[in-house]
Structure 1
Amino acid sequence: MAANVHVEILDDEESRHGGNRIQPLSSTPISEPWRIEEGKKQSSLTLSERLGLEEFFSLNVWRASVGELLGSAVLVFAIDTIVISSFETQTKTPNLIMALLICLTITILLLAVFPVSGGHINPIITFSAALIGLISISRAVIYILAQCAGGVLGALALRAVVSKTIEQTFSLGGCTLTIIAPGPHGPITLGLETGQALWLEIICTFVFLFASVWIAFDERQARRLGHVVVCSIIGVVLGLLVFISTTVTAQKGYAGAGLNPARCLGPALVRGGHLWDGHWVFWAGPAIGCVAFYLYTKIIPRQHFHAKGYKHDFLNILKAVFVSNGDHK
C-alpha cells in the first residue's frame, strides 16, 4: 500500500527559499552532480545515465531508503494490527472500521516519510514512478528492496507482541486468498478463486494510481493542493479500495486486495504456511496494473501530461537500448 528528488512536484515554503526540495512520489535529488540538464539531448546519454546506475553509489539515496524501510515496517505492523483487531472485536461492520483506520494510518505515514524519501512506502508507487520516469530504475530497485525488508521487520515486530493463538487464527494479518477451516465432514477451503483475486489486484491497482497517486505525480495539482491534501487523498482512496475489495467478494478467507506487495511479503516470510498459497497474485496483479497505468499515461495528450522528473521512462530506455544495439551492428 501507499507514499528527494529530481524535479519539484510538491513545493513547500522551504524549497521556495533555496532549502532542500522534497517531492513525494518523485525522483532524484537536485543536488546530485550527475543530474541531467533539461536541454541535454537524450541521444547523447549513456545507458548508465538512463538507468541512473550512479544512484547505487549515492549515500543520499541509501539514506532515503531508510525512511522507506522504517515507514514500511510501521505500515505492516499498524495495518496488520488493524486487520486483526477489526475482526477480533466482532463488530457488525469490521470491513468499514478497517478501511477507515487504514485510511488514517496511510495518510499519517505518508506525511511522516515524505520529507525523507518522497513518501512511497509501497512498491506499486515506486514501480509506477520508475515506469513513467519520475525516478530512475536504480532508485526504484533500492526503494523496493528497502520496502520489502521493512515489511519483514514489521511482521517480526507484530509476531513478537501477539499470542500464538492470534497469530494462527488471523494469519498474522497477512494477505490470504484462502484459509482451511473445519467443516461438517472435515477441513474445507474457504476463500476466493485465483483468477478473481488477480483481476481485483489489477483493477484496484489501476484505480489507486489513476484516482490518487496521479495527483501526486502531476506537478500542477500537487502544488495547488499541497502535500497534506494529496497524502490524505491517497489514504482515502486506498481505504475505499480495501473496503470495496473485501465487501464485493464477501468471501471468508479472502483478506481483500493487498495493494502493497511488500506488506503481503512480510507476514508470508515470517508466518509462512498458507500465506504462500497464491502469493504471486499480490505481485503479478499490481505489476500488471502499473503497466496498464503507464500505458494510459502514454496515450493521453502530451499537453495534459504534467509530471516531470527523471525523464527516462521505460519505453525510452528500451528504444535507446535497441537503437544502440543497431548502431553497433
Structure 2
Amino acid sequence: MSPYLAELIGTAFIIVLGDGVVASVILNKSKGYQSGWIVITIGWAMAVFIGVYATASSSGAHLNPAVTFAQALMGNFAWSKVPLYILSQITGAMLGALLVWLCYKKHFDATPDPDTKLGVFCTIPAIRDKKYNFLTEFIATAVFILALCYLTSPTVGIGSLDALPVAFVVLAIGLSLGGPTGYAINPARDLGPRFMHFLLPISGKRNSDWDYAWIPILGPLAGAAAAAFLFKYCLSGR
C-alpha cells in the first residue's frame, strides 16, 4: 500500500472511531448517551491503536501532522514527503468525519444543542482562554511526542500488539491532560472534521468556530517542535 494511502486510511480509522465514540456519548438518543469521559478516552485510545497497527508497515503510521513534523525536524523523515503526508492525514480525517455523520445522522437531528454537534467534530475548550488553551495543547503534544521517542520495538515480534503502547500514551494524555481542551494533539484530527462540520448539511448547526481553530493546529505543532528539539539535542545523547 502506498504510504500516502496508508496515512489517509489510518487517519480515517482514528476519526471514524474517535469522533464516533464522542458522538455515541454526547448525541441524544444514542445507546451510549452520557456514558462519560472515561468511555471517550478509552475509545480514542483504541481508535489510535487500530489506526497504527493497520498502517505501521506501510507508512510508519504517523497519522498526525505533529508526528510527521517532529520526525522531519529530528532528521528521521524526508521533508519532501511532509506535504503529501499531511494532506493525506487531513483528507483521511475528513473522510472519517463524514462516515461518523452518516452513522449518526438521525442523532444529530435529535440533538438541539449546536455546541454539542460541533463537539462531535472538533475540540471545544472547557474554559475558553486562548493563551492557556494553546499552552495545554503545546504541553500535551510535547508529552505525546517525547513518549513516542522513547518507545522501542520489542526484540520478539508481537504483531499488531506493537501498536498498543501508542494507544496507552494517548489514553494517559486523555485522562490526565485532556480536560481543559479535549486534547487534540493532532492538527488533522481537529482541522479535517472541522472542515466537514462547515461543509455538511447538519440541521441546526452553529458556525465552525474558526476563531479557535488555530489553537489545535499551532499548539500541537509548536509542542512537537519543542519535543523534537529537546529529544534530539538534550535527551538522546547525540
CA contact (8 A) 1:75 1:154 kept: yes
Give the equivalent residue in structure 1 for 2:187.
261
Structure 2 Cα separation of the partners of residues 205 and 301 of structure 1: 17
Identity of aligned pairs, percent?
26
Give the equivalent residue in structure 2 for 1:236.
168
TM-score, with structure 2 as normaliser:
0.82
Deviations 1:271-309 (A, max 9, x none): 12233231000111111111111221233266x35xxxx
Match of 2:124 among 177, 180, 192: 177
CA contact (8 A) 1:121 1:147 kept: yes
Give the equivalent residue in structure 2 for 1:111.
53
Match of 1:199 among 135, 150, 161: 135
Give the equivalent residue in structure 2 for 1:130.
72
TM-score, with structure 1 as normaliser:
0.61
CA contact (8 A) 2:149 2:231 kept: no
Aligned length: 219
CA contact (8 A) 2:74 2:229 kept: no
Note the aligned Cα RMSD (angstroms).
2.3
- Amino acid in the other structure paired with 1:239: L
- Structure 1: unaligned runs, 5 residues or longer: 1-59, 179-189, 306-329
**Inter-CA distance 225–234: structure 2 relative to 1 (3 Å threshold):** farther
Structure 1 Cα separation of the partners of residues 88 and 165 of structure 2: 24
- Return the offset for 1:230: 4.7
Structure 2 Cα separation of the partners of residues 230 and 207 of structure 1: 20
CA contact (8 A) 2:186 2:216 kept: yes
Give the equivalent residue in structure 2 for 1:80.
19
- Structure 2: unaligned runs, 5 residues or longer: 28-32, 199-206
Matches of residues 1-329 of structure 1 in structure 2 within 5 Å? 63-88=2-27, 89-91=33-35, 94-163=36-105, 164-165=108-109, 166=111, 168=114, 169-171=116-118, 173-177=120-124, 191-211=127-147, 213-216=148-151, 221-224=152-155, 228=160, 230-247=162-179, 249=180, 254=181, 256-272=182-198, 273-300=207-234, 304-305=237-238
Q: Which protein is bigger by CA-based radius of gyration?
A: 1
